[in-house]
A and B are shown apart, each in its own frame.
Chain A
Amino acid sequence: AQSVAQPEDQVNVAEGNPLTVKCTYSVSGNPYLFWYVQYPNRGLQFLLKYITGDNLVKGSYGFEAEFNKSQTSFHLKKPSALVSDSALYFCAVRDPGGGADGLTFGKGTHLIIQP
C-alpha cells in the first residue's frame, strides 16, 4: 500500500527566509506526487505535481519541490517566505499503475511565517 509521511506538524519561518516543508513517500514503482495548500476555512488548492522528467518542479505562488528518488522525498521549498504563505500544506502520492488506493494524503504541516 502507498503512504505519505509529513514528519513535522508545524514549521515556523521568519518572513524573508527560505522555507522547506518535508514529505517522504512509499509506493511501488515511480510515484505521482502532489502538493496542496489549505488556507483557513477554505478547501484545498493545488500547488504543483511531479509526474516525470525534471526533478525540480515549479508551481504556484513561487513554490517549488524537488523529487529525490533515492531518498523517496518530495520536499516543498520557497526561497523567500511571505506572511501570506501561512497555511496548512498537504503532500499526496499515488501509484501511476492505478488502483483503489487512489490519492493518499499526508497528515498535513502547518506553516507559520512570522513577520
Chain B
Amino acid sequence: NAGVTQTPKFQVLKTGQSMTLQCAQDMNHEYMSWYRQDPGMGLRLIHYSVGAGITDQGEVPNGYNVSRSTTEDFPLRLLSAAPSQTSVYFCASSYSNPLAAGVADTQYFGPGTRLTVL
C-alpha cells in the first residue's frame, strides 16, 4: 500500500493564480480531509468528505474548493491564490467518519504540499 499520497511536494504561485493539490489513498477509506498547517496554529480543517459525492466545509474553507468523484481521490482547488494561503497542506484519510459518534479511527496523513503564494 502506498497509503496517502500528495502531489506536488512544493509549489510557488503568484497571487491570483489557480491550482489543484492532488490527494489519493489506496486503503479504501471512506473519509478524507484537507488540513492546513501554519506555525503556532496546529492543523486546521479546510474541507472533508465522508464518501464519494459528499463533501462539506471545515473550519477554514474560504478560498478552497473540493470534489470527491471517486473513493480514492480528493483534490483541493485554490480558485484565486492569495498570500494568506501560504501554508503546508496535508491530506488525511480514515476508514470511518471521525465526526460520527463513537468513532475513534486513526487518521493517516500524506507527506504534505508546501505552498508559497507571492
Contacts and interface: CB of A to CB of B under 8 A. Distances in A.
B42 A97 contact: no
A101 to B, nearest CB: 8
A7 to B, nearest CB: 13
Interface string B68-92: 0000000000000000000000101
Nearest to A32: B104
Nearest to B4: A43
Interface of B is mostly: loop
Contacts of A106: 42
B106 A105 contact: no
Given A106-B42, A107-B41, A43 B109 contact: yes
Interface stretch (A12-20, A44-52, A61-69, A71-79): A44-52
A107 B42 contact: yes
Q: Interface extent on B, as a size class?
A: 20 to 34
A90 B70 CA distance: 30
Interface of A is mostly: loop
Contacts of B41: 107
Interface of A: 4, 9, 32, 34, 36, 41-46, 49, 51, 90, 94, 96-103, 105-108
Given A90-B43, A94-B98, A98-B102, 5 more contacts: A44-B92, A98-B103, A102-B58, A105-B42, A107-B42
